[in-house]
Amino acid sequence: MFKRIGAWFYRKYRIIILLTAGIIILMAIVLILKSVTLSQRADPVLAVVNGYRIRVSEFKEKTAALPEFFQPYVITNRSQFLQDLIDRELIYQKARLSRHARNQEFKRRLAELKKDILVQEYVRREILENPRIPEEEMHQYYQNQTGEFVQPASIHLYEILVSERATAENVVRRCKEGENFEDLAQKYSQAPSAPSGGDLGFIREEKIPKHLEEVAFKLFPNQVSSPIQTEGGFYILKAGQKILSRQLDYKEAVPLIKKMLASKYGEQNYKDFLKDLRAKARIKVVGEAIEKIRF
């Protein structure tokens, strides 16, 4: 009798355990899907090229890689730059399926290129960008160059870009009547930021074209600008939170000081780094072989 009761209880207990485990797994899947959805909302899709998604993060990354003097032009002509990225992706997709991608010489050159990039990235990040600098010299530099460590003003900015003045004036009127700026941006804006409601994040002074900066930094929080005519169309800007310019203290300034003194100490750090590597390595140079190379 007790054995039958025990067996029945064990079966029920196993069912409870399995159901509990199933609920936990289901909750985990829901949380993962939710996090993926949130990350995708934070990084909206600008274009889909044969299934490949060009997102806002890639657009920003490619813009940041351009020469600094050229970036304001791209910010003003975003649609054209997006078309350039689409063309690049189309060519890449075509080239990836071609015979060139399977060529052994190409694969060898690609391996060498990866090697060079990794070496350069390691040296830049681990040695040149993070040099060992005497603390007293950093303090002295901060005291002598205090004016260099002023954080510029910044503003959380939203944008709408349209091609016609009448549309721009209509958008401004509807904003003043209480309609949501982000909703209007998603509906009317032709800028890459449209899927995210025109949200550009925090923009520092001198990081956007001058004619836009002059308007943006005069706006009060939640104020919407009048249409601003540019070569790329008509912009409407909305201001969010504003951060005033301020003096950085020494602790905040240390990363900047290291960058400013990097050229002085980076080269010596690099020499010391190589000296240490060679001291720990087993290296054998076959002198006769190099003399036999024929060019």
Close Cβ partners of 37 (under 8 Å, ≥ 6 residues apart) = none
pTM, rounded to two decimals: 0.47
For the chain, residues with pLDDT lower than 70 are 1-41
User: What's the pLDDT at 219?
Assistant: 92
Q: How far is CA 98 from CA 43, 85, 86, 89, 101, in A?
A: 31, 20, 19, 14, 6
User: What's the pLDDT at 41?
Assistant: 59
Closest listed residue to residue 221, CA positions, set 181, 191, 248: 181
Closest listed residue to residue 175, CA positions, set 193, 188, 194: 188
Q: How far is CA 28 from CA 18, 23, 87, 111, 198, in A?
A: 15, 9, 39, 39, 33
Residue-wise pLDDT for 121-163, tens only, equals 998 888 877 778 888 889 998 989 888 888 888 999 999 999 9
Closest listed residue to residue 212, CA positions, set 81, 72, 57: 72
Close Cβ partners of 59 (under 8 Å, ≥ 6 residues apart) = 46, 78, 81, 82, 85, 192
User: What's the pLDDT at 51?
Assistant: 93
Distance, C-alpha 151 to centroid of its chain: 21
Closest listed residue to residue 151, CA positions, set 255, 217, 244: 244
User: What's the pLDDT at 14?
Assistant: 53
